[in-house]
Amino acid sequence: MEFCGTLILAGLILALLWLFTMKNRRKYNLPPGPTGLPLIGNLLQVDKNAPFKSILKLSESYGPVMTVHLGWQRAVVLVGYDAVKEALVDQADDFAGRWQVPYLLKASKGYGLTFGNGERWYQLRRFTLTTLREFGMGRKRMEEWIQEEGKNLVAHIDTFKATPFDPTFLLSCTVSNVICCLVFGQRFSYDDKHFLRLLNNFTEIVKFASCPLGQIYNVFPWLLERLPGQQHTMFALIEEVREFIMMKIQEHQETIDHGSPRDYIDCFLTRLSQEKDNPTTEFHYQNLVSTVWNLYLAGTETTSTTIRYALSILIKYPNIQEQMQKDIDTVIGKERCPNMEDRKSLPFIDAVIHEVQRFLDIVPFSLPHCALQDISFRGYTIPKGTMILPMLHSVLREEKQWATPWSFNPQHFLDQNGNFKKNPAFLPFSTGKRSCAGESLARMEIFLFLVSLLQRFTFSCPGGPDSITLNPEYGSFASVPRRHQIIATPR
């Protein structure tokens, strides 16, 4: 009875919120959009398996800037390159706020880089970019870590002796080890059970974020907190990862030399020590734990998924794979380890990698932004507290930006002379002040790992190219490629 009473009260509160929202719609000059129902807004008009498709369809009626209601939450959606660029670049300060996604907010306990705003976000992002630069381009350490991990990957694939295997977990191990070197100063064996357990946790955490139940949690977190279900299992997995991070931080605290930082944690702990008497500092323990969690999650799943999708595409189109291998043989040969300088001499490979990222469209909605104050945009008012969804999918597949947006076509990034050609609508890492902090690292990993693999192996699958399905499985958060058994034949 008590629980039923709670549900009724919650329903009444939400109904009042809906009435308040309708009143606000009249008060503000909001962008146009479909009328929603009490409590659930426009959720019935959104395909839970591919929500971006429904939003694109609605934008045909309401335009590139429109208002929808996801449950009781008002959201303004930006569709197409012009609208996204105008908001995130031309009005970058206005649109720099980050929406507090309930599922991921609880996972980070409200701290860290990804979901910080204001001074917290500013301090942590500036520090993180500086640290990544220090361990990356500045001293070549990052490139060396990736090259070494590439050798380990090749050696492990060799053990399969050209028999079929699923590369999903192996690629996650490889990419995760680069993040481990950056954050923890160490790599783990591909057979380390604790390491494999953590990777499995991350896979499940991301999968839940994109599934229908994860979407419902983000709309009605207060309700799902009180109901049994998979969400509680996910938070137990998240806590397990956080405990591992805290253990590593403790190990660093016991062995740190502030004059010679080994990794990101050392750099953060040194800054924490320097600012321990500053009452407004954002360099404290909770932000360290959650920022490491943010880096680990973002830096493992998206990059490994992109490489796995690239292998599927190369199996689907063996002529592209063959051309890439010819270029590698000409520029690098079969023995020398590839480096980032080689990219300038491999425009076709660079174009293929860019097209893989465009075609995968891994985060269709980007991570949601938030209006931290009333925003004036294209003659409309976006009220403070509104969720803002820049649809990267609509940019990466926009017909006026790409010759064949719905086909895999590396020529999108090549000029008539075969030289690499940039396209401003290439925004898989988003753009503006909230663009991905790890973009340069991800680009380096994708290039070096993929070239290392093609230098040593030719990839195929048991059922032949026709058995490869390139359409990913869509969710509210990410596009996940379908899993295939592949064969790596030594060259």
Give how many domains the chain has, as a whole number.
Answer: 1
Report the C-alpha gap between 190 and 214 in whole angstroms: 30
24, 129, 444, 460 from 146: Cα distances, Å: 52, 18, 8, 24
The chain-wide mean pLDDT, for the chain, equals: 90
Report the C-alpha gap between 446 and 178 in whole angstroms: 12
Q: Is residue 387 part of a domain?
A: no
List the single range of 9-13, 57-61, 140-144, 332-336 with lowest mean pLDDT: 9-13
Checking if the pLDDT of 275 tops 70, the result is yes
Q: Is residue 33 part of a domain?
A: no
List the single range of 126-140, 254-268, 352-366, 458-472 with lowest mean pLDDT: 126-140
Using a 10 angstrom Cβ sphere, with 0-12 exposed, 13-18 middle and 19 or more buried, the burial of residue 33 is buried
How does residue 210 score in pLDDT terms, banded at 50, 70 and 90? confident
Checking if the pLDDT of 338 tops 70, the result is yes
User: 180-216: b or e for each residue (b if 16 or more CB lie within 10 Å)?
Assistant: bbbbbbebbebeeeebbebbebbbebbbbbbbeebbb
Using a 10 angstrom Cβ sphere, with 0-12 exposed, 13-18 middle and 19 or more buried, the burial of residue 175 is buried
Token pair listed for 272: 């924490």
> For 391, which DSSP code?
E
Q: Is residue 453 part of a domain?
A: yes
* Per-residue model confidence (pLDDT) at position 162: 95
* Structural domain containing residue 186: 47-57+80-371+401-490
Checking if the pLDDT of 490 tops 50, the result is yes
* Per-residue model confidence (pLDDT) at position 460: 97
Checking if the pLDDT of 330 tops 80, the result is yes
What percent of the chain has a predicted confidence (pLDDT) above 70?
93
Checking if the pLDDT of 2 tops 80, the result is no
Report the C-alpha gap between 42 and 28 in whole angstroms: 19
pLDDT greater at residue 20 or residue 252: 252
CATH code of 470's domain: 1.10.630.10
Q: Is residue 174 part of a domain?
A: yes
Evaluate whether 324 touches 349 at the Cβ level (below 8 Å): yes
Q: pLDDT tens digits, residue range 109-159?
A: 889 998 889 999 999 999 999 988 887 644 567 888 899 999 999 999 999
Report the C-alpha gap between 249 and 270 in whole angstroms: 12
Q: Is residue 99 part of a domain?
A: yes
* Per-residue model confidence (pLDDT) at position 138: 44
* Per-residue model confidence (pLDDT) at position 3: 44
Most confident of 21-35, 43-57, 92-106, 203-217: 92-106
Provide the residue count of the chain.
491
Checking if the pLDDT of 53 tops 50, the result is yes
Token pair listed for 94: 């206005």
Residue 102: name the closest of 239, 209, 227, 243 by CA: 209
* Per-residue model confidence (pLDDT) at position 62: 96
> For 88, which DSSP code?
I
Q: Is 371 left (phi over 0), alpha (psi -120 to 50) or beta?
A: beta
Most confident of 14-28, 259-273, 471-485: 259-273
**Could you tell me the pTM of the whole model?**
0.90
Evaluate whether 432 touches 95 at the Cβ level (below 8 Å): yes
Q: Is residue 159 part of a domain?
A: yes
* Per-residue model confidence (pLDDT) at position 477: 67
Q: Is residue 275 part of a domain?
A: yes
Q: Is the dihedral of CA 458, 462, 467, 468 positive or negative?
A: negative
List the single range of 153-157, 203-207, 416-420, 463-467 with lowest mean pLDDT: 203-207
Q: pLDDT tens digits, residue range 431-463?
A: 999 999 889 899 999 999 999 999 999 999 999
Q: Is residue 74 part of a domain?
A: no
* Per-residue model confidence (pLDDT) at position 219: 83
